[in-house]
Structure 1
Amino acid sequence: MQIKDYVGLQFFEGSFMVVLGLLPYIVFQKYVAMFLVAMVVLYVLLRVIRRSNVEKIAIHGQGVLITGCDTGFGHHLARRLDRSGFTVYAGCLDEHGDGAGTLRTSDTGRMHVLPLDVTSDTSVNSCLDYVTKMCGDNGLWALVNNAGIDFLGHVEFSTMEMYKRVAEVNQFGVVRVTKAFLPLIRREKGRVLNVTSVNGRFNLQFKSVYNMTKWAVESFSDILRLEMLKFGVKVVVIEPGNYGGITEVLGDRFMDGCQRDIATMLTSAGPDVRDCYGQDSLEEMRKNVQDPKKRLRPPSVDPVIDAMENAITLVNPQYRYLVHEGNTFLDKFCVLAILNSYLPGSWMTYLINKVV
C-alpha cells in the first residue's frame, strides 16, 4: 500500500468516524428543522383560518339576554352590545341597585333591565314571558349565562349547604336559564355563551366548592354543543383568567361573605377537623387571597368583553375563549390551564404548589 493510499484510507476512516459521531446530532437537527418547518406551516394555516372566520353578522337589533348584569362582565357587556345596536335584556339580581340604575340611563331604547334570579324558577319564567313578548315572531339571538359567585374553603370545612348554595347559582342556574330560553334561541339559530373560568381547566386548593361548578358547566356546554348542531345553534365557552380583582368577584362584598362563612365553618366542623387544621387555618386562607400581590387589578375587562362580543357577532366563533389578564406578559393561571391538558398530574401538582 502506498503512503498516499494509506493517508487516503486514514482520512476516509477519520471522516467516517466523525460522521458517525455526528449522526445523532444530524438526525436530531433534521427533526428539529422538520418540527420548525411544521410549526411555521401550522402558524400560517391558523392565520389563514382565523382570517377566514372574521366575518360578522349584520346587526339589526337582535335580542341578547345576559344574566348577572349588576356588576362585572355582564354589566360591561350589556353596555357594549347596547351601543353596538343589539336589543339587550339585562338580567339583574337587584333591579333597584346601582348597576341596574346605570344601565337604565341608556337612551337607545334597546336596553331592557329585568329582575332575574337564576336560582328561581318563578323569576326565570317571568323573564322568559317578558322576552318572548318583546321578541314577537322573532327568536333570541344570544343567551349569555354570566351570573356566578365565588367561594373559598377546605373540603372538610365546607358544609353541604355551601356546596349546594354555590351550585344553585353557578351550575343549576346555567341549566335552568338555558333550558327555559333554548326554544327562542333555536328559532333564531342563535348561540349560547356560558361564562366559566380558567378554574374550569385546572384546580387549586380551597376551591372545590367553586371549581366543581365550573367544570360541570364546561361539560354541560360541550354536550349542549353536540345536541344543538342539527339546529344550527352554536355553544361557546368564555374562560376568563385572573380577573377577580376588577370584577368584584373578590371584592369587599365577597370578603365580608367569606368572613361569615369562616365563622359558620368553624362552628359546623367537628373538633377533630378543627384540631387537625388548626383554628387559624381558615383565616390564613382568607389573608392569602387578600395578598395584594395575588389581587392585582387587570387594566380593564375589555379582553373578556371583546371575546364575548366576538362570540356573539362572528359568523363562526371559536368553541372556547381562554382570556389572559393584562397585568403581565402571560397569565400564569391560563398557562397552567393549558399545561394541565398535556403534563402528568405529578408535574402539575408541583407547578401549582410552586407558581400559585
Structure 2
Amino acid sequence: MKVTEFVGLQMFELSYLGILAVLPFFVAQKYIGGFILSVLLLIGSYHVIRKYTYKAIGNNHGRSVLITGCDTGFGHAFARRLDNLGFTVFACVLNLDGEGAKTLQQSTSDKLHVIKVDVTKDQDVKGALDYVGKTIKQNDIGLWAVVNNAGVNMTADVDFCTMEMYKRVAEINLFGTVRVAKAFLPLLRLTKGRVVNVSSVRGRCAFPVASAYSMAKYGVEAFSDTLRAEMLKFGVKVIVVEPSNYGGATGMLNDVWCQQMEKDITSMWNEASNEVRNTYGQNYLHSLYEAGKSTAKTTYPTLIPVLDAMEDAIVNCSPRYRYLISGGNTLYDIYVVLARLNGILPESWMDFIMARTLLSGLPPIQGVDTEANKS
C-alpha cells in the first residue's frame, strides 16, 4: 500500500489518538487526565495484542463459503480472492448470462460454483441451500461462512422517494440478508462457522438523500447484533463489515445504476405532489442525479481495504465484530469521521457539521434559503 493511501485510510484514527494524547495536559483535573491516558493505554494494548496473537483458521481447502451479490463489486472480487486461498466458493449472481458470472466461470478454479440467486425470492434461496448441502456432502467439506453482500443503492430526498423504492431497497439490502442468513444457519451451526453481513458506514450514521439505503443498513446492523447474541451459544460468529466511500470502485455507480436512477427520477417526479414539485423544481432531481454520478470520482481507487477486512472476518480465529473501513480519495473520510462522532456529539452539533460538509454539496432548492444555496 502506498504511503499516501495509508495516510488517507488512517488519518482520522491518527488525529483522534493524537487529540486524546494531548488532551490530558489541558485538563485541570489530574484524575480526568489520568483516566484518559489509561483509556489510551488500553486501546493501544488491545491493538498490539490483536496484532501479535493473530491466528488463522487453517485448512481452507476443507471449508466452503457462500457469497451473495457476486455479479460485480465486493462480492465478485472477494469470490476470486477466496478461490485463490483454496476455499470452495459458492458465488451467487443475479444474472448467470452476465459479464460478472462469465468472468468468474472462466478465471477461477473448479472449486468455485456460480449459482443464480435472487435474494428477494424464497425459492432461489431454497434452491441454493439444496445445491450447497448436496455439494458439501459429496466433497466432505463444511459450510464455513455466509457473506451477505448483495445490495442496491438509492439516492433521493424523503419528499421524492416513493414507497415502492423504499420497499425495493429494503427487500434486497435488509430482508435479503435475513432470508439468506436464516436459511443457512443450520449448516453453519455444524461447523461453528460465521455470518458476515456487509453493511455500510450509512448503517452507523444517516446522511442526507440516503434515507432508503440508511434505513436498510441500520436494519442490517440491528439484525446482526441480535443474531450475534443468539448464536453465541452455538459458537457461530456474526460479523459486520462497514465500507465507506467505495461506490465508484464497486460498480454500484455503473451504467445499470444510471439507467435505474433515470427511471426513478421519472417516477419520483410523476408521483410527487404539486407542492413538492413547486418547492424543489424538476432541475433539482436531475442535479441530484448528476451529483450522484460525480461521487464515483471521489471514491477510494481500489477495493483492497474492504477485501482485506472481509478476508480477516473469514480466516481470523478471533475476528472483530465490526470493521468500519475508511474510503474516499481525500486525506480523511468525512463519512467515517461522522460515523465515529455519531452518538458522542449532541444531535445539534452533528446537524451543524453535516450542514457544513455534506449539505453544501447538494444541488440548490429553488426559492429556499438552504446551506446548499448559500454555498
After TM superposition, the score normalised by the length of structure 1 is 0.88
Q: What secondary structure is seen at the aligned counterpart in 2 of 1:60? A: helix
- Aligned match of 2:298: 296
Report the Cα offset of residue 251 of structure 1. 2.0
Q: 1:224 aligned to 227, 235, 240, which one?
A: 227
CA distance in 1, matches of 2:96, 2:170: 23
Deviations 1:269-302 (A, max 9, x none): 121221122222212222222336x732412100
The alpha-carbon distance between structure 1 residues 54 and 329, as it changes in their structure 2 partners (threshold 3 A), is: farther
Q: What secondary structure is seen at the aligned counterpart in 1 of 2:245? A: coil
Q: 2:258 aligned to 251, 255, 258, which one?
A: 255
- Aligned match of 1:233: 236
- Aligned match of 2:42: 42
Q: Contact between 2:177 and 2:220, CA under 8 Å: does it hold in 1?
A: yes
Report the Cα offset of residue 326 of structure 1. 5.6
Q: What secondary structure is seen at the aligned counterpart in 1 of 2:161? A: coil
Matches within 5 A, 1:268-307: 268-291=271-294, 295-307=297-309
What is the one-letter code of the residue matched to 1:223? T
What is the one-letter code of the residue matched to 1:163? Y
Report the Cα offset of residue 350 of structure 1. 0.9
Q: Contact between 1:69 and 1:78, CA under 8 Å: does it hold in 2?
A: yes
Q: What secondary structure is seen at the aligned counterpart in 2 of 1:141? A: strand
Once structures 1 and 2 are overlaid, which stretch shifts more, 280-289 or 199-208?
280-289
Once structures 1 and 2 are overlaid, which stretch shifts more, 63-72 or 325-334?
325-334
The alignment yields a C-alpha RMSD, in angstroms, of 1.9
Matches within 5 A, 1:51-70: 51=51, 53-58=53-58, 59-70=60-71
Q: Contact between 1:158 and 1:265, CA under 8 Å: does it hold in 2?
A: yes
Deviations 1:149-174 (A, max 9, x none): 00011212111111111111111101
Report the Cα offset of residue 252 of structure 1. 2.3
**Seq. identity, %:** 50
- Aligned match of 2:123: 122
Report the Cα offset of residue 312 of structure 1. 0.3
- Aligned match of 1:113: 114
Q: Contact between 1:242 and 1:324, CA under 8 Å: does it hold in 2?
A: yes
Matches within 5 A, 1:125-140: 125-136=126-137, 138-140=141-143
Report the Cα offset of residue 209 of structure 1. 1.1
Deviations 1:19-55 (A, max 9, x none): xxxxxx9972845752564255224421333135511
Q: What secondary structure is seen at the aligned counterpart in 2 of 1:64? A: strand
Q: What secondary structure is seen at the aligned counterpart in 2 of 1:105? A: helix
The alpha-carbon distance between structure 1 residues 261 and 38, as it changes in their structure 2 partners (threshold 3 A), is: same
Q: What secondary structure is seen at the aligned counterpart in 2 of 1:239? A: strand
Q: What secondary structure is seen at the aligned counterpart in 2 of 1:295? A: helix
Q: Contact between 1:56 and 1:315, CA under 8 Å: does it hold in 2?
A: yes
What is the one-letter code of the residue matched to 2:163? M
Report the Cα offset of residue 109 of structure 1. 2.1
Report the Cα offset of residue 322 of structure 1. 0.3
The alpha-carbon distance between structure 1 residues 220 and 107, as it changes in their structure 2 partners (threshold 3 A), is: closer
What is the one-letter code of the residue matched to 2:116? P
Report the Cα offset of residue 176 of structure 1. 0.7
Q: 1:323 aligned to 303, 322, 325, which one?
A: 325
- Aligned match of 2:11: none
Bigger Rg, which one: 1
- Aligned match of 1:335: 337
The alpha-carbon distance between structure 1 residues 33 and 270, as it changes in their structure 2 partners (threshold 3 A), is: closer
Once structures 1 and 2 are overlaid, which stretch shifts more, 33-42 or 299-308?
33-42
CA distance in 1, matches of 2:38, 2:306: 31
After TM superposition, the score normalised by the length of structure 2 is 0.84
Q: What secondary structure is seen at the aligned counterpart in 2 of 1:218? A: helix
Q: Contact between 1:92 and 1:100, CA under 8 Å: does it hold in 2?
A: yes
Q: 2:207 aligned to 196, 204, 208, which one?
A: 204
The alpha-carbon distance between structure 1 residues 271 and 300, as it changes in their structure 2 partners (threshold 3 A), is: same
CA distance in 2, matches of 1:26, 1:223: 41
Deviations 1:155-204 (A, max 9, x none): 12111111111111111101111111111111110000000100001111
Once structures 1 and 2 are overlaid, which stretch shifts more, 228-237 or 34-43?
34-43
Structure 1: 5+ residue runs without aligned partners? 1-24
Q: 2:180 aligned to 171, 177, 202, which one?
A: 177
Q: What secondary structure is seen at the aligned counterpart in 1 of 2:55? A: coil
- Aligned match of 1:312: 314
Q: Contact between 2:193 and 2:236, CA under 8 Å: does it hold in 1?
A: yes
Report the Cα offset of residue 250 of structure 1. 1.7
Q: 2:145 aligned to 142, 145, 155, which one?
A: 142
CA distance in 2, matches of 1:262, 1:230: 47
Q: Contact between 1:138 and 1:187, CA under 8 Å: does it hold in 2?
A: no
Q: What secondary structure is seen at the aligned counterpart in 2 of 1:114? A: strand
* Pairing 1:160–2:160 present: no
Q: Contact between 1:244 and 1:295, CA under 8 Å: does it hold in 2?
A: no
